[in-house]
Amino acid sequence: MSAPALEVQDLHAYYGESHVLQGVDLVVRPGEAVALIGRNGAGKTTTISAIAGFLRPRQGTVRINGRNLTGAPAHWVARAGVALVPQGRRIFGDLSVRENLAIAGRPAANGWDEARVVELFPSLGRRLGLRGDQLSGGEQQMLAVGRALMRNPSLLLLDEPSEGLAPMLVEEVGETLVRLRATGLPLLLVEQNLGLATRVGQRVHVMNKGTIVFTGTPVELAAARDVEARYLGV
Ligand SMILES: Nc1ncnc2c1ncn2[C@@H]1O[C@H](COP(=O)(O)OP(=O)(O)O)[C@@H](O)[C@H]1O
Ligand SMILES: [Mg+2]
């Protein structure tokens, strides 16, 4: 069996003296879409930061495709094939859609390019000449995902793509992520939106106060009413 796309074991991380991640374990297998769910402040973004190399964990390991990249700087992790769609999207508002995609590009044979991104997001194709800040929130989210894909990643991390989007646009993002999942690209989707997380994730991890309190399929989570009530406020 090939190594997991992502394997996080017993991860601990701090902001100063504040012990935020208190032993996080999670796995994304090859070709798998996994959701990490939890309330605001649970430690989801901190987990992403520790994986992506923005925050150095104090204990535990992060392996990408079998390579130990614990504590490696962000540009190493990126070169190892990890792409991040950050919380708040952070596209370049004063560059065109086409330029936003082009500057992210890291060409690969048979990989993602502008044409393939536009195939996944047809509405972006009609807006290639517009500036990033002329797009709607939903389109900006598509551009942020498209930009990450232009890096031809082997693992995609998405931090709350539904944030700030109207329900209809959340639907649209969900549909896109399901199509992206079908390409076989391993995904780690961080979400507060339970509906989106369980639609996209083949397995879900629930996080509370810096630890994983539940791991299972969306069906198993739906059956675990106590988990939903205690940690997700459903
Ligand atoms: N840069 C920071 N400095 C200090 N504390 C932080 C910082 N970022 C987040 N925190 C704290 O760490 C905890 C986890 O935050 P975060 O990972 O952003 O949660 P989530 O993404 O699940 O909403 C929260 O208590 C938050 O207040
Ligand atoms: Mg967050």
Q: Distance, CA 183 to ligand 2 centroid (Å)? A: 26
Q: Are residues 164 and 228 in the same domain?
A: yes
Q: Distance, CA 114 to ligand 1 centroid (Å)? A: 35
Which residues lie at CB < 5 A from ion ligand 2?
Answer: 44-45
Nearest to 4 by CA among 52, 81, 65: 65
Q: Report CA-CA distances (Å) from 129 to 29, 95, 100, 112, 123.
A: 37, 9, 10, 19, 12
Each residue's pLDDT tens digit, 174-229:
999 999 999 999 999 999 999 999 999 999 999 999 999 999 999 999 999 899 88
What phi-psi label fits residue 31: left (phi over 0), alpha (psi between -120 and 50 degrees) or beta?
A: left
Residues β-bridged to residue 21: 13
Q: Among 127, 152, 177, where does a domain finish? A: 152
Nearest to 190 by CA among 64, 50, 75: 50
Exposure of 15 in the CB half-sphere (CA atoms within 13 A):
8
pLDDT band at 88 (very low <50, low <70, confident <90, very high): confident
Q: Are residues 181 and 220 in the same domain?
A: yes
What is the residue with the minimal CA distance to atom 16 of ligand 1?
43
Each residue's pLDDT tens digit, 125-172:
999 999 999 999 889 999 999 999 999 999 999 999 999 899 999 999
Q: Are residues 54 and 146 in the same domain?
A: no
Name the residue with tokens 């374990």. 25
Q: Are residues 98 and 138 in the same domain?
A: yes
Residue 1 lies in a domain: no
User: How many structural domains is the chain composed of?
Assistant: 2
Residues 6+ apart with CB under 8 A from 54: 74
**Domain span including residue 60:** 6-81+154-232
Q: Among 130, 152, 174, where does a domain finish? A: 152
What is the residue with the minimal CA distance to atom 13 of ligand 1?
41
